[in-house]
Amino acid sequence: MIAAAPSQPAVRTSPWLPLVFIGGLAALAVLPPIRNNARALASFLGAIGLLAAWNAALLAKARKAGRLLRLEVFPKRQHYIQACAQGAVLLYWGWYWKAAHAYAVYIVAQLVFAYAFDILLGWSRRDEYTLGFAQFPVVFSTNLFLWFKPDWFYLQFLMIAVGLAAKELIRWNKDGRRVHIFNPSSFPLAVFSLALLLTGKQGISWGQEIATTQFLPPQMYLMLFLIGLPGQYFFGVTTMTMSAALTTFAFSRIYFAVTGIYFFYDSYIPIAIFLGMHLLFNDPSTSPCTELGRVIYGVMYGLSVVALYEIFGSLGMPTFYDKLLQVPLLNLSIKAIDAAARSKYLRWLDPGQIGRVLVPPRRNMAYMSLWTVAFAGMSYAGLNDHHPGQYLPFWKQACSDGRAYACPYLADMESLFCEQGSGWACNEEGLMNVALARSGEDARRTNAAQAVAPFMQGCELGYRLACGNEIVMRSRRGELASGPPGVSDLPIILRGSKGEITERDPEKLYAVGCKEGWSEMCGG
């Protein structure tokens, strides 16, 4: 770890500083996206009122006690490097998912709120507050994983407040220093994710949309790998990211070799999990100190992601929480992990022993070189934009081969394509509903009569076989029929996880389908 430069002398400042940020929050509240939504505006006005009341009470108490509230300006490298990396992801992702840029005013509002809240909290506990960029990584990291919709935006303010309060108030002694226990962004993410799970209120957030749309930009894995490198060089977190990614990737490859299907369905490591491995769980302040401890910590994160994904999936619950809930528990375990790493039983495994002759920057470069080779190998082996599990032909074949979970997932894909306007997909969804009702493989599709709705929708979209199948289901006479997709269906059903297909030329669409595994489309 690079030693921090000596702090600059504290300077006296006006105790009215929080009012600058409170005023900024009020200015944002008059912008159309906020002003035109009554519930979002109420969230802003409530936050403004509470901060203003807190500021007034603090000033009155300080004046009565004769306290001089001081400010120290000290930007820490850890904070602004993290903020730059997270900001780059937000910008790149937002270029391909416009909702992210449309949400920018809400992210700015959280930053302004975070500064006001943190200053007031700091001055409420002591006379001196250190001003820097600490709020940026808290807000940016939180917003890379969970947004509450405008009608519920007060929960977003509350989530930021919980993270900052946990950093200030929940502390322990670590290697002779009094430090915060929890990562200030992962702690509120875990708390609020658990609350959403327990209440079944996932719909008030955009958590699922965030997790899926982060794969839309091209070469997103490479982008995350590259933006993680500065932090890995300066703060020595490479071993955590590398061990987490290798653990999850190895499990996924082994699972595919054994079962013939993909554990995460459309990737070896979902992009949101890969993001968490680079910009969430590996905060150097709340991670183990020993190099072996960091390797163990990364392995534990990778395995816990797999376990949570399986648990949530088997219970029919949203799986995007798989990268969030475990981080506070991992933070609590770091002392035990370091103690184990320093024990006589494991000390000989510590890679730090091997690299002891290297100064920290060179040691970090050595680990980064290993990680570069490992990432290149994973990219060649399928960690890229063209994973076969993105596309429908793989799952049709897996379902036909009787692979576990393949048919329900195929039905889900067809349902999604049906909703997007493919009459062929509606017809196929109806057929899968009937097959799954007979096999009992999918607890959500136990009644063959459920097939009537997708057949009806397919008929309305102009797919003639769906009309006939609807009649068969209603009359209970005749045979259900399947047919090939029409040209109008292709831009929809050829979509993978990378998003919309803009091509409309039939010849080129058939070429895309052939590349994705639609053998019947090869040759046009």
* Residue linked to tokens 């576990």: 404
Please state the separation of Cα 119 from the chain's center in Å. 28
The percent of residues in the chain predicted with pLDDT above 90, rounded, is 75
Comparing 241 with 3, which gets the higher pLDDT? 241
Per-residue pLDDT, 446: 86
- Measured CA to CA, the distance from residue 374 to residue 248 in angstroms comes to 13
In the structure encoding, which two tokens stand for residue 248, read together? 């999850």
Per-residue pLDDT, 7: 46
Calculate mean pLDDT across residues 280-305: 95
pTM check: above 0.75: yes
Per-residue pLDDT, 10: 47
* Mean pLDDT, rounded, of the chain: 91
CB–CB of 516/393 below 8 Å? yes
Residue 101 has pLDDT above 90, yes or no: no
CB–CB of 146/210 below 8 Å? yes
DSSP 108-172: HHHHHHHHHHHHHHHHHH-SEEEESSTHHHHHHHHHTT--B-GGGTHHHHHHHHHHHHHHHHSEE
Amino acid in position 208: Q
**H-helix or E-strand containing 5?**
none
Per-residue pLDDT, 96: 92
Strands 70-73, 128-131: pairing kind = parallel
The percent of residues in the chain predicted with pLDDT above 70, rounded, is 96
CA-only gyration radius of the chain, Å? 26
Per residue in 433-488, pLDDT (tens digit) is: 999 999 988 888 889 889 999 999 999 999 999 999 999 999 988 899 999 999 99
Calculate mean pLDDT across residues 9-36: 85
Per-residue pLDDT, 524: 57
Calculate mean pLDDT across residues 362-366: 89
Cα angle, residue 425 at apex, residues 419 and 431 outer, rounded to 5°: 115
Other C-beta atoms closer than 10 Å to the C-beta of 38 total 9
pLDDT band, residue 12 (cuts 50/70/90): low
Q: Which long-range contacts (CB under 8 A, 24 or more apart) does 167-172 make?
A: 167/138, 168/118, 168/121, 168/122, 168/125
Per residue in 161-194, pLDDT (tens digit) is: 999 999 999 999 988 888 999 999 999 999 999 9
Cα angle, residue 400 at apex, residues 396 and 405 outer, rounded to 5°: 75
Strands 128-131, 11-12: pairing kind = unpaired
Surface-to-core class of residue 476, CB atoms within 10 Å of its CB (0-12 exposed, 13-18 middle, 19+ buried): exposed
> Highest-confidence range of 13-17, 171-175, 391-395, 502-506, by mean pLDDT?
391-395
How many Cα neighbours within 13 Å face the side chain of 349? 13
Per-residue pLDDT, 413: 92
Calculate mean pLDDT across residues 119-134: 93
**How is the chain split into domains, by residue range?**
8-209, 218-387, 391-485
Per-residue pLDDT, 407: 92
- Measured CA to CA, the distance from residue 125 to residue 134 in angstroms comes to 18
Per residue in 304-361, pLDDT (tens digit) is: 999 999 999 888 788 889 999 999 999 999 999 999 999 988 888 878 776 566 677 8
- Measured CA to CA, the distance from residue 209 to residue 440 in angstroms comes to 29
DSSP 427-486: HHHHHHHHHHHHHT--TT---GGGGHHHHHHHHHTT-HHHHHHHHHHHHT-S-----PPP
CB–CB of 95/37 below 8 Å? no
Walk across the sheet containing 70-73 and list its strands. 11-12, 70-73, 128-131
Among residues 155, 157, 186, 158, the alpha carbon closest in space to that of 170 is found at 186
